[in-house]
Structure 1
Amino acid sequence: MGKEKKGRVFTVILATMAVIFTLALVVYPKAGYEAGMEGLKVCWEIIIPSLLPFFIVSELLLGLGVVRGFGVLLEPLMRPLFSVPGVGAFALSMGLAAGYPMDAVITARFRETNQCTRIEGERLLAFTNTADPLFMFGAVAVGMFKSPALGGLLALAHYISSFLVGVAFKFWGRKDPTHLKEMQEREEIRTQGNILVRAFQEMLAAREQDGRPFGKLLGNAVSESVQTILMISGFIVFFAVLIEILHISGIMAVIGWPVALIYHLFHIHGGLVGPTLAGALELDIGSAQAAAVHAPLLQRLALVSGIIAWSGLSVHAQVASVLTNTDIRMKPYFIARFLHAFLAALITVVLYLSGMGREAARAMAPLTEHTAVLTAEGTHSFWQIASSGLSLWLMGLVVLLACSFVFAMAKRLRIIRFYARIK
């Protein structure tokens, strides 16, 4: 009864927040429309061209058995380092090439096809959730900081911290009884002999087990990939509109008071409060805002590095949706993202102070007059909006909306299924 009552209360809260968010869109129709169009532009110009080919190719490689074959070859490398099967190298490489949430899509497919245990899937998600190099070198270093040399610093910090997270999560769930049982069964059926022969045999066995003709395999790969892309695009548009509504209604400034106090305590530039909150929700928007603030370069780099590693609640929601049909939990994923963000920011500071970022700082192009004006306006607007009395009822309700959404993702977006069971 306790869980049932708690679930009903949570449903009422979510329903109320959905209604309030709808009213906010009615109150701010122009802002919501423009934010939605910007989100669609990102999807059309960046997300679809960059991710869709990787999704299709990954489905083909899985169906043809190539991934399982390479998994046998890479088992001696991945198992000692990260305690994951060799196929995890495929998730890692595709995550590096295409960025998030490619790793989650592949890990979910591994779990659905029983190529990894639940614990191994959670370990994989912990360190394969990385940004692609093109984003850090192109969009962030060149587009936002106007310095290509900073791309190397950000990428190095990002991938070193990801590797450390993977090593740390090697011990995650090692005493889980279900995991131990599955691992024991896998060891018993594992064949001995030449590793190349075993890899070839596993590839043929996986292809035979799939059984779909190539034409059907290709068609399914395209249709499933397009469906995944539409889901990702929908989250991007939703969070773009949510961030804009939170900003213009003044809620972002209200939420930022605790962050502002912490930053003041540690002598961090106050103009980074807004980008921190935006980056917690969506990494592209937060990174762009942080790069534009007229704050010390080291602080901006550390914050951007942490935002990229955290990847934003938008990506977290995408990952949760991808994992809905599996038993992989979101709790270790959240822990890994916090750890990754902290380590990435820390390593960025260490690399910068060691001299790696100073030459890049000298080569940076000065901020344009337009950027400086936007930065000044953004810095002052935080405190101006926070002190204004803009729709206090709307502020409180939308704050609850944000908190409820985070809680829903922590429950892996299984709310509908939960209620179907208790009924």
Structure 2
Amino acid sequence: MKRIFFCLSFSCFLLFLLFFPRTAVACARSGLMLWFNTLLPSMLPFMILSGIFMKAGFIEKLLALTKGFWKSVFHLTPMGGYGLLIGIFCGYPMGAKTAADLYQDHRISRQEACYLLTFSNHPGPAFLSSYLCVELLHREWLILPAYGILYLSSFFTSLLFRRCYSFDENSLPEFKRKEASAAFSWGEALDASIMNSFLSITKLGGYIILFSLIQGILELLPGLPADLKCLLLGFTEITTGTMAIAQRNWNLSVSFPLLLALTASGGLCIAFQSKSMLAETDLPLSPYLKGKSCSSLFTLLLGRLFIEIVKIVI
């Protein structure tokens, strides 16, 4: 079955490239520019710095002061809390990458890494406020509610999965860490972080271009209703998909919860990007997919509830 699906997909791509070369080039260029102008400058510095900080041990010592907070609120170790913070402030798919890096570096257990995958991947703050609320919806007053709904949905998801991936911090085996004072070298850490970060960011660029081509194929499919096509585009890649939905000029009671839910899901493109971030570990993608499904549903319900409350108040 997988082989048949692969052959059909490859055939579709080949036919698209052969018979619609101008559209294919435009889609690939759009994906490349999105990667070059947005992801590369916004994510690469954080990737490099995050790698250096983890190798130096700075973060672990700093977050140890807030150990009680992470344990009681999120059921995480301090380093797990670091993975959550990176996922919130750096955007997709840094939550998955940081969870994989922490696990690979023996800073968190496998169970905690799987638990972290269920709720640590978030859209970047700039995407949520500047792009979604201001550029697409033209309503600045929705920025704070959007943050609240998205992060509350993520917290509900963590409550739902913490029993499934429960772990006892005190019973964890001793991690095979070297003391920073004995093993840490600024030069080696910088070189390793740069190489690892460039490899990861290049993978992301490849997936963005690939899914930009998929969106080009979807837009050419005949017989699809315009509304269904917009939903498929949003499910495939959230940046252009949410733009297509916003251009339909649906009522805010429909568009706001739907756009937030699609943003919370990340779409297929982010799922494949996250999978690539886990490639060098034995971490499965299933916790991420389960968490994103639940988070999207919570976001849709909370978004709809918020709009109904606004209607009553106004």
| Secondary structure of residue in 2 paired with 1:87 | helix
Residue 106 of structure 1 deviates from its aligned partner by 0.7
The residue number in structure 1 matching 2:79 is 87
The answer to whether structure 1 residue 338 and structure 2 residue 310 are counterparts is no
| Secondary structure of residue in 2 paired with 1:128 | coil
The residue number in structure 2 matching 1:138 is 130
The answer to whether structure 1 residue 300 and structure 2 residue 241 are counterparts is no
| Secondary structure of residue in 2 paired with 1:115 | coil
Task: Pick from 144, 155, 171 the counterpart of residue 184 of structure 1.
Answer: 171
Residue 357 of structure 1 deviates from its aligned partner by 11
The answer to whether structure 1 residue 287 and structure 2 residue 242 are counterparts is yes
Report if aligned partners of 2:35, 2:208 keep a CA contact under 8 Å in 1: yes
Residue 206 of structure 1 deviates from its aligned partner by 4.4
Report if aligned partners of 1:64, 1:206 keep a CA contact under 8 Å in 2: no
State the number of aligned residues: 313
The residue number in structure 2 matching 1:248 is 220
Give TM-score, length-normalised by structure 2. 0.92
**Equivalent-residue separation in structure 2 for 1:206 and 1:248 (angstroms):** 57
**Equivalent-residue separation in structure 1 for 2:153 and 2:191 (angstroms):** 38
The residue number in structure 2 matching 1:78 is 70
Matches within 5 A, 1:356-375: none
Q: CA, structure 1 residues 127+289, in 2 after alignment: closer, same or farther (shift >3 Å)?
A: same
Report if aligned partners of 2:265, 2:296 keep a CA contact under 8 Å in 1: yes
**Equivalent-residue separation in structure 1 for 2:28 and 2:238 (angstroms):** 16
The residue number in structure 1 matching 2:164 is 172
Q: Counterpart amino acid of 2:260? A: S
Cα deviations by residue, 1:63-121 (Å, 9 ceiling, x for unpaired):
11012223433332222333322211111111121111111111001110122222211
| Secondary structure of residue in 1 paired with 2:118 | helix
**Equivalent-residue separation in structure 2 for 1:14 and 1:206 (angstroms):** 46
Task: Pick from 218, 238, 246 the counterpart of residue 190 of structure 2.
Answer: 218
Structure of greater Rg: 1
**Equivalent-residue separation in structure 2 for 1:277 and 1:227 (angstroms):** 29
**Equivalent-residue separation in structure 2 for 1:206 and 1:68 (angstroms):** 12
| Secondary structure of residue in 1 paired with 2:165 | coil
Residue 23 of structure 1 deviates from its aligned partner by 2.2
**Equivalent-residue separation in structure 2 for 1:288 and 1:222 (angstroms):** 33
Q: Counterpart amino acid of 1:129? A: N
Task: Pick from 235, 238, 242 the counterpart of residue 210 of structure 2.
Answer: 238
Residue 16 of structure 1 deviates from its aligned partner by 4.3
**Equivalent-residue separation in structure 2 for 1:82 and 1:48 (angstroms):** 30
The residue number in structure 1 matching 2:306 is 351
The residue number in structure 2 matching 1:362 is none
| Secondary structure of residue in 1 paired with 2:78 | coil
The answer to whether structure 1 residue 121 and structure 2 residue 113 are counterparts is yes
The residue number in structure 1 matching 2:265 is 310
Q: Counterpart amino acid of 1:31? A: T
**Equivalent-residue separation in structure 1 for 2:245 and 2:284 (angstroms):** 31
**Equivalent-residue separation in structure 2 for 1:301 and 1:101 (angstroms):** 23
| Secondary structure of residue in 1 paired with 2:119 | helix
**Equivalent-residue separation in structure 2 for 1:145 and 1:212 (angstroms):** 48
Report if aligned partners of 1:119, 1:172 keep a CA contact under 8 Å in 2: no
Percent sequence identity over matched residues?
22
Residue 233 of structure 1 deviates from its aligned partner by 0.9
The residue number in structure 2 matching 1:229 is 201
Q: CA, structure 1 residues 206+308, in 2 after alignment: closer, same or farther (shift >3 Å)?
A: farther
| Structure 2: unaligned runs, 5 residues or longer | none
The answer to whether structure 1 residue 39 and structure 2 residue 36 are counterparts is no
**Equivalent-residue separation in structure 2 for 1:12 and 1:244 (angstroms):** 22
